[in-house]
Amino acid sequence: MCAVQLEVRNISKTYQTGLFSKKRKSILKDISFRVEKGQTFGIVGESGTGKTTLGKILAAIEKPTSGEIFFREKPLRRNKEELATFRRKIQMMFQDPEGSLNPKKTIQKSLDDVVGLIKIPKDQRAAVLQNTLRTVGLSEEILVRYPSQISGGQNQRVTLARILLLKPELIILDEPTSALDTSVKAQILNLLKQLQQEKELTYVYISHDRDVIRFMCHDIGIIKNGRLC
Amino acid sequence: MTLLEIQNLRVTFDTSLGKVKAVEDVSFKLMAGETLALVGETGSGKSTIAHSIMSILPTNAAVKGQILFRNQDLVQLNEKELSHIRGKEISLIMQNPSLALNPVFSIGHQITEPLVIHESLKKSRAIAQAKDLLKRLHFKGPGVAIKSYPFEMSGGMKQRILIGISVILNPKVIIADEPTKGLDSRLKGMVLEELKLVKKMENSSMLFISHDLHPAREISDRIAVLYAGEILECGLTVDFFKEPLHPYSKGLLESLPEKGFKPIPGTPPSMIHPPEGCKFHPRCPYKKKICSRKMPHFVKVQGRDVKCVLYS
């Protein structure tokens, strides 16, 4: 039997509706699911159903109002040290390829920021970077460019390279191909599948595109009116 | 009857990195009452063609060729002459509804603006006309929608409002630039139905721009495939989806979900230093020696125009 990589138990999220209002709006209600190592769990739902909010909660970017997250069967404690380790193991890839990278930094600088976080000797950093670029199908020519000077597909590959440098175990993919062309979408989806096999990555794939979910996922949950069904 | 004719259109942009050849020698005709889809990858020049027709390109753009509408070349018209055509005769549905609508004005203000400016209607009459249009577009509660602000609406609703704004003056040509981009399948279907409805209501012609082949298939009569600023194949939509002719068209259809997301290898070329010969040859599985030297001319194959040496 495969090990459970991520388990979500009874997650709920409510927001205050206005600055001075005491009214609260319920976005997610009692969400529970588990994802096994090396598998992809798909979260499907129409726009505005709380898919991205759930993704942010899973990546510990947002706190749930109630409920618990278990990573490798251990509950997530929200102290500083544990969150730092957790956030490195779980990474999130966003929808907007250009918005995911700092427009004022070259691709080299964006990647160097991440390389600086990895505990590897300085003389090996260039080789690690080169190897990661090759893994995501990019050439070194791209390093001197800015995000606005490369295509949407290339931007998503750079984002993926930044994520892979941190050696994550689980990636939350929030509509990573919805802004891409059909052929580029196919390239990125195939790359994600290949990386999953090579590195035994676990994915939570958020999308409103049923074809993409069918192609990528082993198991799915549909969000409707804030509940997973 | 030809309503809009593009002849040898070339658009270049002067940038710090060099001259970007965004559109190269593009020619096509839009017939009265028909929908022509322009499909291709991001950066292939689809929106540049739309913006050339509307004459809303940035100042670093240089346009050559002819854009003929009712025997007038739009490229030669001045701003004043163009203002009588923009919105009234030819309208553009922009691709990002969140950015295309002004966040500080109500929907009512924005949808009635063309009526007040072009038709000199009084505000109250313009509001009544706008409500009537929204009702015909099956908007639930047009009165509420008129009083709302863009932030109070979902992406799909904003897109439908943009459609309303662009057709309120009954234009002869509607240019829909990626109107379904980023929408979920339910909203996508709703927007497509709306476009079909307005086209029928006004008996207009439509230039439908999309990188997504599914909506193009659903809405268009003819389809033109763009790659790196050039049209590579143009013909009836039904024939195109039954049997694509150009290797790039074949690759595009193979990357569709129903074909198992098989990608086209490689990436689109640089638009500043494009490859010699056929621009698709570095990625083409059928390339021949001549492809890297000479760009083929259009040939007629099965009633379609194709630019590939495989057919010459």
Q: Is residue B264 part of a domain?
A: yes
A87 touches chain B (CB under 8 A): no
B185-202 vs B155-167: helix crossing angle, rounded to 10: 10
The percent of residues above 90 in pLDDT, for chain A, comes to 48
CA of B106: how far to CAs of A17, B25, B100, B112, B158, in Å? 21, 41, 13, 10, 12
B256 vs A contacts (CB less than 8 Å): 182
Q: Is residue B292 part of a domain?
A: yes
A150 touches chain B (CB under 8 A): no
Predicted confidence at residue B225, as pLDDT, reads: 97
The predicted model gives A1-30 an average pLDDT of 84
Question: In a mutagenesis test of the A interface, which of B255, B283, B284 is the best target, namely the one with the most A β-carbons within 10 Å?
Answer: B255
Q: Is residue B136 part of a domain?
A: no
Above 70 in pLDDT, residue A86? yes
The predicted-structure confidence for B256-281, as pLDDT tens digits, reads as follows 999 999 999 888 888 889 999 999 99
Predicted confidence at residue B303, as pLDDT, reads: 93
The predicted-structure confidence for A99-135, as pLDDT tens digits, reads as follows 789 999 999 999 999 988 887 888 888 899 988 998 8
Which residue reads 């001319």 in tokens? B297
Q: Is residue B164 part of a domain?
A: yes
Predicted confidence at residue A2, as pLDDT, reads: 66
Above 70 in pLDDT, residue A10? yes
Predicted confidence at residue A19, as pLDDT, reads: 67
Predicted confidence at residue B200, as pLDDT, reads: 85
A178 touches chain B (CB under 8 A): yes
Choose the closest CB to A178 out of B182, B213, B256.
B182
CA of B233: how far to CAs of A148, A184, B28, B39, B225, in Å? 29, 20, 11, 10, 5
The percent of residues above 70 in pLDDT, for chain B, comes to 100
Question: A46–B184: do the CB atoms touch at under 8 Å?
Answer: yes
- CB within 8 Å of B201: residues ≥ 6 apart: B136, B167
Above 60 in pLDDT, residue A20? yes
- Domain boundaries defined on chain A: 4-15+29-228
The alpha-carbon gap from B69 to the nearest alpha carbon of chain A, in Å, equals 31
CA dist B127 and B124 (Å) reads: 5
Q: Is residue B96 part of a domain?
A: yes
**Range(s) of the domain holding residue B97:** 2-104+149-311
Choose the closest CB to B186 out of A46, A151, A186.
A46
The predicted-structure confidence for A136-172, as pLDDT tens digits, reads as follows 888 887 888 888 878 778 888 899 999 999 999 999 9
The alpha-carbon gap from A47 to the nearest alpha carbon of chain B, in Å, equals 6
Predicted confidence at residue A18, as pLDDT, reads: 65
The predicted model gives A28-54 an average pLDDT of 92
Range with the poorest average pLDDT among A191-205, B113-127, B131-145: B131-145
Predicted confidence at residue A170, as pLDDT, reads: 96
The predicted-structure confidence for B40-53, as pLDDT tens digits, reads as follows 987 889 989 999 99
B28, B78 contact by CB (below 8 A) = no
B252 vs A contacts (CB less than 8 Å): 182-183
Predicted confidence at residue A106, as pLDDT, reads: 92
Query: Nearest to residue A196, comparing CAs of A170, A162, A178?
Result: A170
A180, A153 contact by CB (below 8 A) = yes
B172, B205 contact by CB (below 8 A) = yes
Question: In a mutagenesis test of the A interface, which of B17, B44, B151, B184 is the best target, namely the one with the most A β-carbons within 10 Å?
Answer: B184
Q: Is residue B120 part of a domain?
A: no
Question: A183–B252: do the CB atoms touch at under 8 Å?
Answer: yes
B255 vs A contacts (CB less than 8 Å): 182-183, 185-186
Predicted confidence at residue B90, as pLDDT, reads: 96
| Structural domains of chain B, count | 1
For residue B90, the domain's CATH number is 3.40.50.300
A189 touches chain B (CB under 8 A): yes
Above 70 in pLDDT, residue B187? yes
- What are the DSSP calls for chain B, one per residue? -EEEEEEEEEEEEEETTEEEEEEEEEEEEEETT-EEEEE--TTSSHHHHHHHHHT---TTEEEEEEEEETTEEGGG--HHHHHHHBTTTEEEE-S-HHHHS-TTS-HHHHHHHHHHHHS---HHHHHHHHHHHHHHTT-S-HHHHHH--GGGS-HHHHHHHHHHHHHTT--SEEEEESTTTT--HHHHHHHHHHHHHHHHHHT-EEEEEES-HHHHHHH-SEEEEEETTEEEEEEEHHHHHHS--SHHHHHHHHTSGGGT--PPSS-PPPSSSPPSS-TTGGG-TT--GGGGT-PPPPEEETTEEE--GGG-
Q: Is residue B28 part of a domain?
A: yes
Give the phi and the psi of residue A221 in degrees, each rounded to 5.
-135, 140
CA dist B306 and B312 (Å) reads: 9
Question: B42–A152: do the CB atoms touch at under 8 Å?
Answer: yes
CA dist B207 and B32 (Å) reads: 11
The predicted-structure confidence for B3-59, as pLDDT tens digits, reads as follows 999 999 999 999 877 899 999 999 999 999 999 999 998 788 998 999 999 999 999
Which value, to the nearest 10 degrees, does the dihedral of the CA atoms of residues B15, B18, B20, B25 take?
A: 130
- Beta strands at A170-174 and A202-207: parallel, antiparallel or unpaired: parallel
If you count them, how many residues does chain B have? 312
Predicted confidence at residue B198, as pLDDT, reads: 85
Residue A85: count other Cβ atoms within 10 Å of its Cβ: 10
The alpha-carbon gap from B41 to the nearest alpha carbon of chain A, in Å, equals 6
Predicted confidence at residue A1, as pLDDT, reads: 54
The alpha-carbon gap from A221 to the nearest alpha carbon of chain B, in Å, equals 17
B282, B273 contact by CB (below 8 A) = no
Give the phi and the psi of residue B61 in degrees, each rounded to 5.
-90, 145
**What burial class does residue A58 get, using C-beta atoms within 10 Å of its C-beta: 0-12 exposed, 13-18 middle, 19+ buried?**
buried
CATH architecture classification, A4-15+29-228 = 3-Layer(aba) Sandwich (3.40)
Choose the closest CB to B41 out of A47, A184, A211.
A184
Average pLDDT score, chain B: 92
Q: Which of A161 and A77 is assigned the larger pLDDT?
A: A161
